Amino acid sequence: MSLSVHHFLPGDRVEIREILNERIWTVRPVTVIEDSEDQFVSYLATGTLIDYPVDVEHGEKCFTMWLTGKWELVQKEFSASGMLRTTPRSVPFEVFTTVLPNGGVASWYVKCREPLCRRPHGLDALDETLDLIASRDLSVWQRRDQDELEMAAATSLYSSEDVERLLASCPSVEGQLASRKVPWYLSWLESRPRTIGMGTCSRICRLSFFTS
């Protein structure tokens, strides 16, 4: 007998954690927008307190922390515009979308990641360095951080098989961008965040999106 998967409800507050070698790397409290058989969608509001490594930087310093396991977490306020995060079930990436208060979606940031692991508190995963960023209309895109992937491979953080797997996933994503047949909602292009039941420091009880 198979056990049914517990799905979170729209408006639930959960945590998305990044876990490396059984240690917490980051924690982001988010509000659930959708949790279905097709995708998990959440929203990280401006002003949310997140747990983040002290003095971390992209590249060598980050990878040194990963290799040594030496880092400490500190709470910091997420000061950027709200972030919509879409995780399609059948692909090895998720999409981070900056939602501007008065300008809809700014861009689509496609991030390779390990498979999500569902927990009672939310979801666990880990970013896998290689990204693609696409314009809001999907007319232009470029790969990001391929140099960092090569740097990480040189320090044995990634095997040659991992690097080949990640690079091999890019043409598929780029083909989806070119055809505009992407596994996320393009209808969110003009979305605006609307919060209900706001508390202190963006502790959102419920959140929904509407299209203007």
What integer best gives the mean pLDDT of the chain? 83
Contacts of residue 6, Cβ cutoff 8 Å, sequence gap at least 6: 118
Q: How confident is the model at residue 197 (pLDDT cuts 50, 70, 90)?
A: very low
Domain boundaries, the chain: 13-193
pLDDT, tens digit (0-9, with 9 covering 90-100), for 87-146: 988 788 899 998 887 768 888 999 988 888 899 989 998 888 888 999 989 999 999 888
Please check whether residue 17 is in contact with residue 24, taking contact to mean a CB–CB distance below 8 angstroms: yes
From residue 172, how far is each of 37, 147, 160, 163, 168 by CA, in Å? 22, 20, 20, 16, 8
Per-residue burial over 112-123, b if 16 or more Cβ lie within 10 Å, else e, is bbeebeeeeebb
The CATH class given to the 13-193 domain equals mainly beta
Comparing CA positions, the residue from 94, 71, 76, 69 lying closest to residue 28 is 76
The neighbour count for residue 102, using CB atoms within 10 Å, is: 6
pLDDT at 195 over 70: no
The Cα–Cα gap between 11 and 38 comes to 18
108 burial via Cβ count (<10 Å: 0-12, 13-18, 19+): buried
Please check whether residue 182 is in contact with residue 166, taking contact to mean a CB–CB distance below 8 angstroms: no
Q: What is the mean pLDDT of residues 12-40?
A: 93
